[in-house]
Structure 1
């Protein structure tokens, strides 16, 4: 094992972008792939409760912490289109753009590690990991073997894959299929196209797309900045809800009764239904930017209603109370239930 830190040295809040979370019984940092496989195998054989920790950007840990061993995936580096699971994601995206490769530029500025991106099919500004992923190198905790899983077998859907919500194994590295002409994927997100001054569907230099995305994310408090409490978050806390086909008419009618029948409702085609904007629903349910939770210790971001933020002295309990208030308010107003996007450890909404 590479490094062991006791709870008295550091609570898990030091490893999450929310800066929340109690202590773990033990924390181990694995700095090589061989180390990572070895420590997970040893802990499994010992029957030790195990939590894998990457960049901590999509994680909500209870104030009570985790009664087991946290394995921090600290592997770094990349070789062209293959990147280690623990590598800082945005640093890798920046490198691919600088090297003249296109494909990841619209996913710039997303905090966290590379290994987490296929697990929840990370997406932003009209792009998803599933569109550029080739395969993942994976340690299977059931067979105790290392193998490769092609993208086609990962069961990708909106913000999910077959790897999400399971402890079946560990992503060791990720391989992408990127363009080598230095140009972006077609720009599909209208806000990004307007920022770039191009028509939807246009390809632009990848570096230009990256800078535009970073600018948009900064305005929404979605680029990490230790001095800005709006970035003390887990990113978008709720996923955009998908209303099944058999409920679409009912839900849209109810929304119309609240906001006015002539008010356009942002909606997008989705498998088996229609995807609505969680941020739009939250605001129309009466929760505006900066809406405060318990004691003002947490609030919706002052820049983006989808981010629940720690204002500096919050607890996880404070955050969850705010999440419940927003979820219940949207459900009471529109009959639509929002679901959290982050992984919740030893806690629930």
Structure 2
């Protein structure tokens, strides 16, 4: 942490831009690059575990994990799942570090990391003090937090404390998981979910496997849009469908969440679509890939083409999920 302060002092004395990099798995860099200091935060160390079942004291209802920000995220998920504790097992296979999890409020297969976060320890770049932010102060929402919205570039995450319910049981709210475990009954353990999620992600090209094609991307390139519920009727009319044929989930009062992949497919951007050296993965509609020699301009051209067509047809503006570095 002393090195963090040293790096911040270094850039301020030289009036340099600063970019904080974690695992780099959710990043899109422009062709012009970045004229400043890239600081890769990989603070590691031991996990501090508090609570849990112990023979020498009363039985606890929850357990907390204090986890350094530089720990591999999937390794932490595996550790928790192997301990038989539920809460983050559906987030298996997501690349990156623990410190990046609260920034984007990562989520998958019916879970969001925000439901398990107790607090976040960070360096406040405004005061150069190390602070502790509660989950409420982090302002979590769908794929959002203060770290990537209202207070972007203010904090550097040092560690994250998770609180998990020891009495919770795995929940199969996501259709892919329900289908995977159909007929298995209810005696599922977190480690079963962990391996199932990784297998499902592998099948969709969302798990990095050396030597496999179409698996290196920035993950889902577009966020699932949250829109007014009244748009359902407009979409149904545009596509000549009944409203009940449109997949959607409630997302608050008079709001719904639509699957971005479904919208792309309805306007012709299907798996394997190509635009020059950029393309859509043959295994996942939301994964934009470099077909070999794509530049940022190629990827952004595909992005812009998709966004324009979805907006033209449905009046929905898709939002890019990867962080963009450079102009």
TM-score w.r.t. the length of structure 2 is 0.88
Q: Identify which of 9, 14, 23 aligns with 1:55.
A: 23
Aligned to 1:298: 278
CA contact (8 A) 2:18 2:38 kept: yes
Aligned to 1:17: none
Q: Identify which of 295, 309, 313 aligns with 2:293.
A: 313
**1:234 is paired with a residue of what secondary structure?**
coil
1:39-188 equivalence runs, <5 A: 39-79=7-47, 80=49, 81-165=65-149, 166-180=152-166, 184-188=169-173
Runs of 4+ more than 6 Å apart: none
**2:209 is paired with a residue of what secondary structure?**
coil
CA contact (8 A) 2:170 2:189 kept: no
CA contact (8 A) 2:84 2:189 kept: no
Q: Identify which of 241, 247, 253 aligns with 1:266.
A: 247
Decide whether aligned partners of structure 1 residues 37 and 86 sit closer, same or farther in structure 2, where only a CA change above 3 A counts: farther
1:146-295 equivalence runs, <5 A: 146-165=130-149, 166-180=152-166, 184-197=169-182, 204-244=188-228, 248-249=229-230, 251-262=231-242, 264-272=245-253, 273-294=255-276
- 1:199 is displaced (CA, Å) by 9.4
**2:81 is paired with a residue of what secondary structure?**
helix
User: Alignment RMSD, CA only?
Assistant: 2.0
Specify every segment of 5 or more residues in structure 2 that has no aligned partner in the other structure, as ranges: 50-64
Name the CA distance, whole Å, in 2 between partners of 1:198 and 1:204: 11
Specify every segment of 5 or more residues in structure 1 that has no aligned partner in the other structure, as ranges: 1-32
Decide whether aligned partners of structure 1 residues 300 and 203 sit closer, same or farther in structure 2, where only a CA change above 3 A counts: farther
**2:249 is paired with a residue of what secondary structure?**
strand
CA contact (8 A) 1:133 1:176 kept: yes
- 1:203 is displaced (CA, Å) by 7.2
Name the CA distance, whole Å, in 2 between partners of 1:162 and 1:185: 29
Q: Identify which of 327, 341, 347 aligns with 2:321.
A: 341
**1:171 is paired with a residue of what secondary structure?**
strand
Name the CA distance, whole Å, in 2 between partners of 1:143 and 1:215: 44
**2:262 is paired with a residue of what secondary structure?**
helix
Decide whether aligned partners of structure 1 residues 129 and 41 sit closer, same or farther in structure 2, where only a CA change above 3 A counts: farther
For structure 1, which segment, 255-264 or 268-277, has the greater mean C-alpha deviation from structure 2 after superposition? 255-264
Name the CA distance, whole Å, in 2 between partners of 1:85 and 1:336: 35
TM-score w.r.t. the length of structure 1 is 0.83
For structure 1, which segment, 70-79 or 155-164, has the greater mean C-alpha deviation from structure 2 after superposition? 70-79
**1:282 is paired with a residue of what secondary structure?**
helix
Aligned pair count reads 307
- 1:232 is displaced (CA, Å) by 1.7
